[in-house]
Structure 1
């Protein structure tokens, strides 16, 4: 599976020179770039930079405008308080340019209100429209003379609803997440707010999120309007169906291997795209090249990388322009690339390149950096990344540049998009682990597995096992010192791995797991949760489907688990782990559970991200290398962990001995790690 010779030359390297190493805090405070939006004249691009701050325990947002040719960057000003999606991701938005390309509008939350702000060239941004309710979205009329915005319940109505619920009790129905603190499970405007489940899964919104929406229209001219403003539906500049300035359309039709691309003129004439890429299921989006009859075609390469092709309408082939990374497409993220005149402007990142904004010349493919807010960090990175391709998909091996021995390793199985910061959810401090001599194996989730979720878990273990065997055979890793961790599906795979094998010497998870409390807390009629559970896990109610519950719920395998397990999860999800954690502790297993208040599925608060990163780093160093740091604040941590290790040494089978029958070892076959003498390493 792995080309072993690719690693041979990398095993012997000179000693590393002294420098300032990458720390967990560096990872937390990395700047992200989003929402590149082209001005109407095609000469400028607006974009947003978000940077977490440990001191403020907040995400700072700034808007910028760059000339597409790179001659000037203008810092517009603050984007207000960060707003987050229901699962914890930072909410994004696309700004709206003024018709003359000399100003733009965006929504910002300041002083407790989400309002429309307007920036004009040469001036500071001003709050333009504020309502009694938070403004959710807005649009500008076709002639640029009017604006229309949408709002829901007023801020006063929401506050009154919260007070009423607190004073009179809360009805427990299908929209209440009973695992959250009822008085408030999230922080908005510096205070806890009550939330309700807004989907059948775990998206959450504030009280009255489902109140009827209303729209308000505002005059932008200061003079009476000659007629009612017209708000046409704005066609996307990039997607499955796009329009050019003349009214032509290009559309991806069909699905998978049967799809095609069809171009239609204003007169109704159609031109089919005959090149193979137009029929590929990897074709993700289209965009018209500015002032040209050429199409840009975006082809998926894995989950995050895309190839950008230029196809002249009717030509027998397309030309590759660039390959970009960090371009995962979702319904709630703006495109990462926009096509300007003769250039493609992209926010991109790569395994060892933190986010930056670049311009790619469409003729030559040359790249020019427009904004690089992580330049200082990028200059400090000293690591090597080795791509691994296999019939099952792809993986990335991240390791020190200067290393000569077999290395301990931490596995993350899920996604490996963009900069290798912390994996999905930003929980595993990848570069700091490499700084301390621990390699990372990031594996892209295999696609196409059919059946219940445990079939996906088994396939994941098979892929992980074969990759580890190949790395062992290549002399790259120490198979007795391998850890595994993850969030969400990655945490499910990690927990399955230590339930079904004794191959891993340490594990970390960042999410709650399936349990009876998970079921009964979410199975009230009317929500749709039980249907999703049946579809994904093929699992019914615990009192009706006992055999499947014994196969899937981790409590059944407590006796077989010997791998040290650190769980750092949101408070609401920690409640799903109560029985599992208690059984582990009562059985004397090496396990710890930390719960983080006021967090959704993905941790939002910078101080919490830092704490999780730092503890995971310490955990893997302790169990994979026997290292402790001489920090008095962590004395209690290491006292507990030494006790866990002493108890574990009495229970762990010798390396290579069979796993207890209940754990079903499956395809993986290495024993647990032997104990390593403790050393002090700062």
Structure 2
């Protein structure tokens, strides 16, 4: 720990050199707009897309549909998107709309007045109204017949779902493998705009509502006459399990019948195209050597495959492959994401002349652009985050260094100005697109940098062929230690003031680093850890969890593999956690951390735990995100800079932390 006298000196120095904050505020980071649901019009001249933005005042999200001209002409709001439809484990449904054949209207799902219906929105913005609302919510929409008709499906009626919830509430709930005891038995999650009872689907922690397995009722809608009739179910793509150590294949078929497929083959990605005539084409070396495949799309009406490749920094570069003559050209990219949304795996929307993409980079929030397929030139269509680009932005440096598991890649963000030894905050897992708060959006990078921190976001080291958790943790520790040594020697970070925060896999790495090194002086977790309690809460016969724990971590029942549990469980190794720990956990994971929290509370190491009601893996409510950001900022400034926010509303918080620090110093014999 930094001594009290040094902390006071650092605090005075920080106060003396402080300048008016010009970086994005926590509220502005929370309210960054995202873009999803891209769909090109039948004539290829326009693109529809949805913008959603958090609204802290309402603790909700505002959704709107927009239409832009691909050539960079008019862009307009055409209608609202209703209330957000939350999907497990903490995201907003992002389905693209269906265009009518004549391009006059969009058809899309809307949650309004407690029901998910099918709405028609005029492409010129003149009207938006429901065309199909039933007793059951609309679950799926499938376009067909060139935009002349679509098919949609409804599930069990809303009244039947609520009756089923009430019936089991009154009679008692039988605990079977589908009941997750980590969340509330009833009303444990948000489904279709209401707090509803959830059940596990059988695939990891994916959840569904009661009666979700009721057979869907399919109907067909004529998009010109709006005539509605019963229909058979259309062919649907298979559901892909989220628990895979080898990525699923990427597949896409062109309008001319050509089929492209990218698969993992002996540790590397292989791309093959089969034409409608049965001719096979292997991926040219100039394309396949450019990185890993993120997504693929065909240029409409052409035998041209458009491919996004990802490098070690998770930056995407777009390529154009003319299958007939083998010509490969680089179109754009190399500095962030170019995809259909912020996850980087959804394809850009392909028009005959351009790719329409959501573009973002480490300090540039999302905007929508058109990339000319012939020349690679880029034009802006709409920027919902333009105000943030005028703010004071940090310096960004891409770092690559050798580590035990292979080359490590990361991004270092620092305040502008000459290098000085700064407190360092580390995030480890995935670093892509606009860096708001690391994977999970938990730590306000802009606010930390504005407070004088250096922030390093490290992509997980990718050891070829590895599917072992312990090896991944050891590779991470080696990469982090080498980076801190290198940057401290360069005079850019203070190795005595290093903090780290982690979400999901990143939280496991954070705890491994805390327990197996003296590197960290403060830490924060947003996810639960593998603990004996976690095992038994998920080990009922019929659950897949014991198999995953065995295959990835080598963990059996605690009494069967006690040594491995001591190796991996922070609760069983609490005495080796020697840095102040802040736990900010979603309610669905909170109960799994009770042993760790209780053990640490009886040790000198400072610990505080917060639970966020109704949240799943990712926190979704805007006020919860803002609260987590603010508390994480306070935590790392307190322990690494000796700074207390003078806000009187935080006086009790800092008094608690001072008491924790005093007790800790006393146990360690420090003044």
Q: Same fold (TM over 0.5)?
A: yes
Farther-moved stretch of structure 1 (472-481 vs 541-550): 541-550
Farther-moved stretch of structure 1 (493-502 vs 184-193): 184-193
Q: CA shift at 1:272, angstroms?
A: 4.4
Aligned pair partner of 2:623 in 602, 607, 611: 607
**Helix, strand or coil for the counterpart of 1:650?**
helix
**Helix, strand or coil for the counterpart of 2:87?**
coil
Indicate yes or no: 2:632 matched with 1:621. Answer: no
- Cα distance change on mapping 1:228 and 1:537 into 2, 3 Å: closer
Could you list the runs of 5+ residues in structure 2 that have no partner in the other structure? 1-16, 239-248
Over 6 Å off, 4+ runs: 223-235, 328-334
- Cα distance change on mapping 1:406 and 1:40 into 2, 3 Å: same
Q: Corresponding residue for 1:87?
A: 89
- For residues 589 and 216 of structure 2, the distance between their equivalents in structure 1, rounded to whole angstroms, comes to 32
Q: CA shift at 1:340, angstroms?
A: 2.1
Indicate yes or no: 2:408 matched with 1:398. Answer: no
**Helix, strand or coil for the counterpart of 1:433?**
helix
Aligned pair partner of 1:247 in 241, 245, 257: 257
- For residues 539 and 344 of structure 1, the distance between their equivalents in structure 2, rounded to whole angstroms, comes to 46
**Helix, strand or coil for the counterpart of 2:337?**
coil
Q: How far does the alpha carbon of each residue in 1:420-475 deviate from its partner, in whole angstroms, 9 at most, with x for none?
A: 10111100111100000011110000112636312211110010000000001110
Aligned pair partner of 1:201 in 172, 191, 204: 204
**Helix, strand or coil for the counterpart of 2:589?**
helix
RMSD between superposed Cα atoms in Å: 2.8
Q: How far does the alpha carbon of each residue in 1:508-553 deviate from its partner, in whole angstroms, 9 at most, with x for none?
A: 0001111122111111101221111111211011122222112211
Matches within 5 A, 1:489-568: 489-568=505-584
Matches within 5 A, 1:84-163: 84-122=86-124, 123-142=126-145, 144-163=147-166
Q: Corresponding residue for 2:600?
A: 584
Q: Corresponding residue for 2:244?
A: none
Q: Corresponding residue for 2:428?
A: 413
- For residues 395 and 132 of structure 1, the distance between their equivalents in structure 2, rounded to whole angstroms, comes to 50
- For residues 225 and 186 of structure 1, the distance between their equivalents in structure 2, rounded to whole angstroms, comes to 33
Alignment check: 8 A CA contact 1:50 1:59 kept: yes
Alignment check: 8 A CA contact 2:219 2:231 kept: no
Q: How far does the alpha carbon of each residue in 1:619-641 deviate from its partner, in whole angstroms, 9 at most, with x for none?
A: 01101100011111100000001
- Cα distance change on mapping 1:198 and 1:365 into 2, 3 Å: same
Q: CA shift at 1:372, angstroms?
A: 0.7
Matches within 5 A, 1:37-436: 37-122=39-124, 123-142=126-145, 144-188=147-191, 191-222=194-225, 240-252=250-262, 255=265, 260-278=270-288, 282-302=292-312, 304-315=314-325, 317-323=327-333, 325-326=336-337, 335-391=346-402, 392-402=407-417, 404-436=419-451
Q: CA shift at 1:481, angstroms?
A: 0.4
Could you list the runs of 5+ residues in structure 1 that have no partner in the other structure? 1-14, 655-674, 676-682
Farther-moved stretch of structure 1 (307-316 vs 51-60): 307-316
Q: How far does the alpha carbon of each residue in 1:293-339 deviate from its partner, in whole angstroms, 9 at most, with x for none?
A: 43322222237422111223344541111116335899998724123
Farther-moved stretch of structure 1 (149-158 vs 264-273): 264-273
Alignment check: 8 A CA contact 2:23 2:446 kept: no
- For residues 588 and 617 of structure 2, the distance between their equivalents in structure 1, rounded to whole angstroms, comes to 9
Q: CA shift at 1:248, angstroms?
A: 3.5
- Cα distance change on mapping 1:505 and 1:254 into 2, 3 Å: closer
- For residues 229 and 519 of structure 1, the distance between their equivalents in structure 2, rounded to whole angstroms, comes to 43
What TM-score comes out, normalization by structure 1 length? 0.88
Alignment check: 8 A CA contact 1:255 1:281 kept: no
- Cα distance change on mapping 1:147 and 1:437 into 2, 3 Å: same
Q: Corresponding residue for 1:672?
A: none
Q: CA shift at 1:79, angstroms?
A: 1.1
**Number of corresponding residues:** 638
- Cα distance change on mapping 1:145 and 1:441 into 2, 3 Å: closer
Farther-moved stretch of structure 1 (322-331 vs 183-192): 322-331
What TM-score comes out, normalization by structure 2 length? 0.89
Q: Corresponding residue for 2:37?
A: 35
